[in-house]
């Protein structure tokens, strides 16, 4: 079955989710995975959707016109076959917290340490907190460590960054307890 | 040795309140053995409760001593619990839990940091133990099963957004 990634973003207000999902429901779509959140003053929705009757985005893209009229931006991406299936990531999940006075490059430099080593980031949240005089940057990042990579190693890479960026970084294991 | 099939949600038996074991007969002994065998067979598992095997009686087993996080902490090894009850709770901790009966999903759950639990053991002796850390989490998770609660009923935050609670 053809799957699509649907991204919708617009000024946050009550009722966005119900308007979007009403259109999906009326159009016979299934929502497989989704993640929706407030970023700044914007509500953003990312959904993986499918409809057994529909194989191209041209067949349904116009059904979202009412959303555009309400100042929501809609983008549809057509997934390649299998693009809806999450690859099976092996390893140990770890959580990296980075926080400190705001400055350029915090996200990039941390991500680069991981990306250069082909470590997969599975989740990332950042937020600017504090006040105008003292903006504080907070980043929470989850990454899947391959089997041969220990938490202590990640800690040692981050130790150098901590000095360089003058931020606080902590790394911890995020083992899900299988019960 | 009897490894049983672990029920998967939406099997309705996972949402039932289990009945106390009033007579500790052979079937109760067999149930404990099945729980242990199934837990061991499941490899990664550190505990299992009777309703997960479709038996709606108040029994559960926990053993964190073989798991990576459990090994690092003091624990009681294999616990076989009949009619368990948590009689004291202290503190709180957030942990990411998964469950054999709810595959492919994990969530952050708030649990008590330490508990005192009372139960009858496999020799019908009344035990009162104090458990902390991962062992306490495992016991709380398994005892929830006896009341028809899944960890999905306890998820306290979506992924990492703990710090979002205070909005500017």
pLDDT in the model for residue B159: 60
Chain B residues with beta carbon closer than 8 angstroms to that of A179:
45-48, 97-100, 137-138, 141-142, 151
Q: Decide if B63 contacts B77 (C-beta within 8 A).
A: yes
Is B163's pLDDT higher than 60? no
Is B158's pLDDT higher than 80? no
Residue B7's H or E segment, with its range, is none
Let me know how many helices (H) and strands (E) chain B has, helices first.
Answer: 3, 8
For residue B93, the distance in angstroms to the closest alpha carbon of chain A comes to: 13
Q: Decide if B108 contacts B156 (C-beta within 8 A).
A: yes
Where does the pLDDT of residue B168 fall: very low under 50, low under 70, confident under 90, or very high at 90 and above? Answer: very low
DSSP B87-125: EEEE--EEEEEEETTEEEEEEEEEE-SEEEEEEE-TTS-
- Has this prediction a pTM greater than 0.80? yes
Is B67's pLDDT higher than 70? yes
Q: Domains in chain B, please, with CATH? A: 12-159 (3.90.45.10)
Residue A43's H or E segment, with its range, is strand A42-50
Residue A17 backbone dihedrals phi, psi, to 5 degrees: -60, -40
Phi-psi region of B3 (alpha: psi -120 to 50; beta: other; left: phi over 0): beta
- Is A179 in Cβ contact with B141 (below 8 Å)? yes
* Distance separating the N- and C-terminal Cα atoms of chain B: 58
ipTM: 0.75
User: What is the architecture, at CATH level 2, of domain A3-78?
Assistant: 2-Layer Sandwich (3.30)
Residues spanned by CATH 3.30.70.260 within chain A? 3-78, 92-173
* Closest residue to A123, CB basis, from B47, B99, B160: B160
* Closest residue to B97, CB basis, from A37, A93, A177: A177
Paired tokens of B33: 């053995």
Domain A92-173 has CATH 3.30.70.260: yes
Mean pLDDT value of segment A157-175: 92
Where does the pLDDT of residue A179 fall: very low under 50, low under 70, confident under 90, or very high at 90 and above? Answer: confident
DSSP letter at B19 equals B
């Amino acid at each position: 079955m053809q799957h699509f990634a649907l991204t919708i973003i617009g000024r946050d207000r009550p009722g966005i989710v119900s308007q979007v999902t009403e259109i999906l429901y009326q159009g016979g779509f299934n929502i497989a995975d989704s993640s929706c959140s407030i970023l700044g003053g914007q509500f953003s929705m990312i959904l993986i959707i499918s409809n057994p009757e529909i194989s191209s985005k041209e067949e349904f893209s116009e059904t979202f016109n009412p959303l555009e009229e309400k100042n929501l931006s809609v983008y549809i991406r057509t997934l390649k076959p299998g693009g809806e299936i999450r690859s099976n990531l092996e390893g140990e999940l770890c959580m990296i917290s980075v926080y400190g006075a705001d400055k350029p490059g915090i996200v990039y430099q941390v991500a680069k340490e991981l990306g250069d080593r082909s470590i997969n980031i599975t989740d990332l949240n950042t937020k600017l907190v504090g006040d105008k005089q003292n903006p504080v940057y907070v980043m929470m990042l989850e990454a899947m460590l391959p089997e041969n990579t220990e938490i202590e190693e990640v800690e040692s890479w981050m130790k150098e960054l901590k000095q360089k960026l003058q931020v606080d970084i902590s790394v911890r294991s995020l083992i899900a307890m299988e019960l | 040795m009897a490894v049983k099939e672990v029920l998967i949600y939406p099997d309705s038996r996972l949402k039932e309140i289990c009945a106390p074991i009033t007579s500790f007969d052979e079937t109760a002994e067999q149930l404990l053995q099945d729980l242990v065998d199934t837990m061991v067979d499941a490899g990664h598992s550190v505990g299992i409760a009777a309703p997960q095997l479709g038996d709606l009686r108040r029994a559960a087993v926990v053993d964190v001593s073989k798991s990576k996080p459990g090994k690092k902490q003091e624990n009681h090894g294999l616990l076989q619990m009949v009619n368990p009850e948590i009689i004291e709770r202290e503190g709180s901790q957030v942990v990411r839990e998964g469950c054999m009966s709810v595959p492919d999903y994990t969530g952050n759950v708030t649990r008590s940091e330490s508990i005192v639990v009372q139960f009858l053991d496999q020799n019908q002796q009344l035990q009162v133990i104090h458990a902390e850390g991962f062992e306490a989490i495992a016991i709380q998770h398994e005892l929830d099963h006896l009341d028809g609660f899944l960890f999905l009923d306890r998820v306290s935050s979506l992924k990492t957004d703990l710090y979002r609670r205070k909005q500017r």
